[in-house]
Structure 1
Amino acid sequence: MTQQVIIFDFDGTIADTVDALVTIANRLAIEFGYIQITPEELSLLRNFTSREIIKYLGISFFKIPSLLKKVKGELKYKIKEFKPIPGIYEALIELQNEGYRLGIITSNSQENVTAFLENNELEHLFEFIYSGVTIFGKTTIINNVLRKKQLKTQAVIYVGDETRDIEASKKANIKVIAVAWGFNSPEALAKQNPDFLINHPSELLEVIKQC
């Protein structure tokens, strides 16, 4: 039997960074010419896809690469403050003990992710970290990782907290577990028809065994 590889998103899935990302986004709103996010609007945006959020806020497509670069730069100075999602450490240990290979694919920087993992004693759990700038999804990055690591699609499961994670995984023909503790609401995630939708990291192992 082929050993399964579980690939995780980082922000909102492993690291509790959603509130910090909203704060940074609001601070950069004037510079990049889009509207700021009020607490009421945040509740609304959690039900939107990435495309819908960009349209709602009025973010220029041409400015997105520069905006992402700036956000990652600002996160670098706060990375020591971030903590893992409650329960994720135990879930990752459990998966490793069961023999699963673990990796990360993220639009955050590899430097930020590595620093976070080291600060929280998680670095020994992951076989690889791949970072890439994406606007709507991670399909290209996922496919590149599958090719570089010589992974079969049927042996890979992606775990993420956004609708774009589900969309990218489906395009890459890999199974996807959506998690309800990150950015997008459970309702928004369910509409994208992930293979599984879970509410707590303690559910990961049981669900993965069903894949």
Structure 2
Amino acid sequence: MLKLLIFDLDGTLGNTLPLCIASFKKSIEPLAGRVLSDKEIIDTFGPSEEGTVQALIPEHYDKGVEDYIMHYRDLHAMCEAPFEGIVDLLEWAKEQKIHLAMVTGKGKRSTEITLEKYGLQSHFERIETGSPIGPRKAQGIANVLHHLDISPNEALYIGDAPSDVTASREVGVPVIAAAWAETAEPGQLKALDPDQLFTGVTEFRHYLSQQLA
């Protein structure tokens, strides 16, 4: 029986990946004294934003982090709201007495900014954020399960990246590939054999309704 939905944030709840990249460029390029490609930034993903700053400009770490947070907040109008249907989905899940949690690779400060902008601060019972040291989604998912006392087969993880599929598999949680963002790569996700792949939020909600029927 489904008792818990665990959501990723970037590219799953909202189209925030372009915002992240723009914020990195604004904050890191002046300190690095050069232009960064999107790929160079994306290749550092896994750790939180602090890890990206450490990887690209370790000699300017403190200023790089503070500048990133400043630009992330200032540029958030790039994605003012969650994906269409997300808020309704979360409200519907709460009405069905399904627990809601979030496990994201984002740092705590940027996560709080986005949840505040989206008005979702109170929707999640447990939030696990990323680490500058390295990926920790599998540990975050395990922590949520332990905290809420829910078995892996009673949960679903919903994420847009291949690493979301592998992290969920690591802890035995069924995984939904969320391919509704413009930045999603459905082919890569499908190749990892997620339990389901959806290209729209409405389609995913219909699937959940069927599971609960």
* Residue ranges of structure 2 left out of the alignment (5+ in a row): 46-50
Shift of 1:159: 0.5
| Distance in structure 2 (CA, Å) of the matches to 1:33 and 1:173 | 44
Cα deviation digits, residues 10-41 of structure 1 (max 9, x gap): 11111221211121233425756997336xx7
SS at match of 2:82: coil
Do the aligned residues in 1 keep the contact of 2:23 with 2:71 (CA within 8 Å)?
Answer: yes
Match of 1:187 in 2: 187
Shift of 1:124: 3.6
**What TM-score, normalized to structure 2?**
0.74
- Confirm or deny that 1:132 pairs with 2:124: no
Shift of 1:121: 3.0
Q: Closer, same or farther in 2 for the Cα pair 1:78/1:35, shift >3 Å?
A: closer
| Distance in structure 2 (CA, Å) of the matches to 1:170 and 1:31 | 39
1:123 to 121, 124, 132: 121
SS at match of 1:148: helix
Q: Closer, same or farther in 2 for the Cα pair 1:118/1:20, shift >3 Å?
A: closer
Do the aligned residues in 2 keep the contact of 1:4 with 1:100 (CA within 8 Å)?
Answer: yes
% identity of equivalent residues: 23
| Distance in structure 1 (CA, Å) of the matches to 2:166 and 2:34 | 25
Shift of 1:139: 1.0
| Distance in structure 2 (CA, Å) of the matches to 1:203 and 1:142 | 24
1:75 to 72, 77, 97: 72
- Confirm or deny that 1:144 pairs with 2:143: yes
Match of 2:6 in 1: 7
Q: Closer, same or farther in 2 for the Cα pair 1:170/1:34, shift >3 Å?
A: farther
SS at match of 2:127: strand
SS at match of 2:83: coil
SS at match of 2:145: helix
Match of 1:154 in 2: 153
RMSD: 3.5
Do the aligned residues in 1 keep the contact of 2:157 with 2:176 (CA within 8 Å)?
Answer: yes
Cα deviation digits, residues 144-201 of structure 1 (max 9, x gap): 2222332211111100111111110011110110111233311111111111110111
Q: Closer, same or farther in 2 for the Cα pair 1:63/1:190, shift >3 Å?
A: same
| Distance in structure 1 (CA, Å) of the matches to 2:69 and 2:195 | 30
Q: Which amino acid in 1 is paired with 2:94?
A: Q
Match of 2:107 in 1: 109
SS at match of 2:197: strand
